[in-house]
Chain A
Amino acid sequence: MISEAIDNEQIEMLLSDVLEAHGYDFLEYSHASIKRRIIRLYALDNFVSFAEFRYTVRTDKQYFKRFLEEITVNVTEMFRDPNFYKALRNDVLPVLGTYPFIRIWVAGCSTGEEAYSLAIVLKELNLFHKSLIYATDINPSVLEKAKQGIFPLNYLKGYSENYVKSGGIQDFSSYYTANYSHAKFDGTLSEKMIFSTHNLVSDHSFNEFQLIMCRNVLIYFDKDLQHKVFQLFDNSLEKLGYLALGSKESLDFWERSKAYKRVKTEKIWRKL
């Protein structure tokens, strides 16, 4: 096993290189997970030594693109956790619908599945025309995919089931055109999306939102970094705005959590 040959010190040196040479700070990521991703990539790409791997990551811009894409987790789904989307549809978005304009930030959007899911719900609630979805990720290459709205066809059956469970009222297939192995989503869904790179570790607040969705991103951060990101969200959220997290993430241990009220049983909090 290669894993035994690579110790924590080597991982730290590699991540320090990445910060110095490329400006991406992974030092406050959960260690076990990022270590596993790094070792996996190192084994996958057949480097002769860890030193060579380190050198390539440091100096080869093209390879660094791959590194960035592979060590961050980009697994996502449409209508992931249907009950969460049901709560958005029934409890959160109708409230925001009373506003003249709805600004939403999907932070860590990866390849865009959640942003498209959200756009579909907004359409069905007749709120899409006055909404704007800012979809950001640390990783430029996943944003390119997100812009296209093309997802592998073999996942669509599961997405369609999720959609129905979440309270979807249309024929899900009306939102995409199937083409061989892929489904291309209706181009109007991305008309209200703005895609941009944003690094939650180092970038600042860039707007005020009524809803921030950041699901299954914080699990990869250590506690201190999680709390910094909560502060960033707090600075980016209007009063009475909503913060939505992943099913295993929580605001509970953050010092300012008392300024937020949980919405029913889903991982959604409202800023008081």
Chain B
Amino acid sequence: MAETLIKGKCEALIIGGSAGSLDVLLEIFPSLSDNINFPIILVTHRKSGNDALLSDLLRSRTKLKVNEAEEKDKILPGHVYIAPADYHLLIEDDETFSLDYSEKINYSRPSIDVTFQSAAEVFGDKLVCVLLSGSNADGVAGLKTVNDLGGIVVIQNPNTAIMSYMPQQAVNHIKAGIILDASDMAEFINKLVK
């Protein structure tokens, strides 16, 4: 199993999602272990102006520290970072964040592709990326890069996702992807702990 392949070497977990992904996050977070020893970075499509809402929802469901990612922040283990609305979130070689207000990608800013690709170049085979429910194809190209550079790709089972299009595109394009139901995701993530 891929869990055993990567167990103990996960240096960053990135979760991308669009329409229908909030429910999954709310299901995952209460079951996450307090011992998570890698950063968790969330990139979700949402309207600008609702930044505090998602942080608050998640904060009430986990003991991990939940914050919006700020530019130049050092990325720390055991912290949950949320990509701010209306900016692309990139990862620098020194494991800090950069923000970018360039053109939307896949009609999206933040774009999941941008963060996945940028993280893949920094974390290589020590990266785990999860793509959840959504109704456009953002994230799929990013997962391909993650896979090409040796990272682990996890895809929400399209059959049980609220919006199947995004995970289905990922399943179609990345054969090595691990397909999981939302209810199995927390356990998978907890097993990544060293």
Contact = CB atoms under 8 A, between A and B. Distances in A.
Interface residues of A, number: 21
Contacts of A4: 145, 148-149
B98 interface: yes
Interface of B: 70-72, 84, 87, 90-93, 98-103, 114, 117-118, 121, 144-145, 148-149
Q: Taking each of A8, A31, A32, A249, which has the highest tally of chain B beta carbons within 10 Å of its own beta carbon?
A: A32
A64 interface: no
Contacts of A246: 101
Given A3-B145, A30-B92, A36-B114, A248 B99 contact: yes
Interface of A: 1, 3-4, 8, 30-33, 36-37, 73, 75, 216, 219-220, 223, 246, 248-250, 253
Contacts of A249: 71
B90 A36 contact: yes
B105 to A, nearest CB: 10
B118 A248 contact: no
B91 A1 contact: no
Contacts of A250: 70
22 contacts: A1-B144, A4-B145, A4-B149, A8-B93, A30-B98, A30-B100, A31-B92, A32-B90, A32-B98, A33-B90, A36-B90, A36-B114, A36-B117, A36-B118, A73-B102, A75-B103, A219-B87, A219-B99, A219-B100, A248-B70, A248-B71, A248-B84
Contacts of B148: 1, 4
B62 to A, nearest CB: 24
A3 B113 CA distance: 13
